[in-house]
């Protein structure tokens, strides 16, 4: 199963939510599943306008309820009509200090609530240049082993050095790394049914190389997802 996930981050589409959702919901969906991930306050609006597409939250709390000011529980996300949640995004790890242990707790409570997690893993330039990307990614996968079980889960490989930098992994580099990710999933989770996506400065201009040579099951799209036409061009590339 292929996926194209539009991660709006802390932005709204310049064209507006309604025109965006009308464009995306109106597209034929022969190439896989479209998922839109808006900021928290707009989850219900987007879910109500989604026709044949899925909606994701961009993170969730590691607790189901309690005295945790500012947090949003997975059950609240489900209440909004949402079925997916992005966890472990590089910005959550690097800007907000989320550790593998915290991400494992979030995964467990999200899965228990019925959400499908999109687990983000990735390496920075120092790790990449040291030749340790494979072991680093394998450790991020191993760290959440007890939280996953046989629940549906999607993995998004996002090299930190390619996010918001204009750089992206070539199809060949992506395929090599994704091969290591799949091997680690099989080793630590004993599963071969986990879709592996790519995220990192994906655009309509570089998507073809990634689709043709990247050995991936779709994309987690950031900046380019804010324009419905550009996002749909990325989605349509999955038809290859």
Residues forming the active site: 89, 158
- Degrees, nearest 5: CA angle 140-143-144: 100
Angstrom distances, CA of residue 147 to CA of 10, 190, 218: 28, 14, 24
> Residue 33: what are its φ and ψ, rounded to 5°?
-95, 130
User: Which residue, among 81, 61, 84, has the nearest Cα to 73 in the 3D structure?
Assistant: 61
Contact in structure between 144 and 100 (CB atoms under 8 Å): yes
Site of tokens 């959702």? 21
The two structure tokens encoding residue 91: 């910005």
The interaxial angle of helices 228-237 and 17-25, nearest 10 deg, is: 20
User: Which residue, among 170, 176, 157, has the nearest Cα to 207 in the 3D structure?
Assistant: 170
User: Which residue, among 112, 137, 110, 123, has the nearest Cα to 56 in the 3D structure?
Assistant: 110
CA–CA gap between residue 189 and residue 174 (Å, rounded): 21
- Degrees, nearest 5: CA angle 110-114-118: 55
């Amino acid at each position: 199963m292929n996926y194209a996930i539009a991660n709006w981050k802390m932005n709204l589409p310049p064209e507006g939510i309604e025109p965006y959702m009308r464009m995306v919901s109106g597209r034929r969906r022969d190439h896989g599943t479209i998922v839109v991930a808006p900021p928290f306050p707009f989850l219900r609006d987007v879910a109500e306008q989604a026709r044949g597409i899925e909606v994701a939250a961009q993170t969730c709390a590691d607790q189901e309820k309690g005295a945790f000011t500012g947090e949003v529980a997975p059950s609240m996300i489900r209440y909004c009509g949402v079925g997916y949640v992005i966890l472990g995004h590089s910005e959550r790890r690097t800007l907000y200090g989320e550790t593998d242990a915290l991400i494992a707790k979030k995964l467990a409570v999200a899965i228990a609530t019925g959400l499908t997690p999109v687990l983000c893993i990735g390496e920075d330039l120092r790790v990449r240049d040291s030749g340790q990307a494979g072991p680093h990614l394998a450790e991020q996968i191993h760290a959440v082993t007890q939280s996953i079980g046989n629940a549906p889960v999607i993995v998004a490989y996002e090299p930190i050095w390619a996010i918001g930098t204009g750089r992206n992994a070539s199809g060949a580099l992506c395929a090599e790394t994704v091969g290591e990710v799949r091997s680690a999933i099989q080793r630590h989770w004993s599963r071969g049914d986990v879709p592996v996506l790519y995220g990192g400065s994906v655009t309509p201009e570089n998507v073809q190389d990634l689709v043709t040579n990247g050995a991936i099951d779709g994309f987690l799209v950031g900046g380019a997802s804010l324009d419905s036409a550009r996002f749909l061009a990325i989605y349509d590339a999955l038809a290859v």
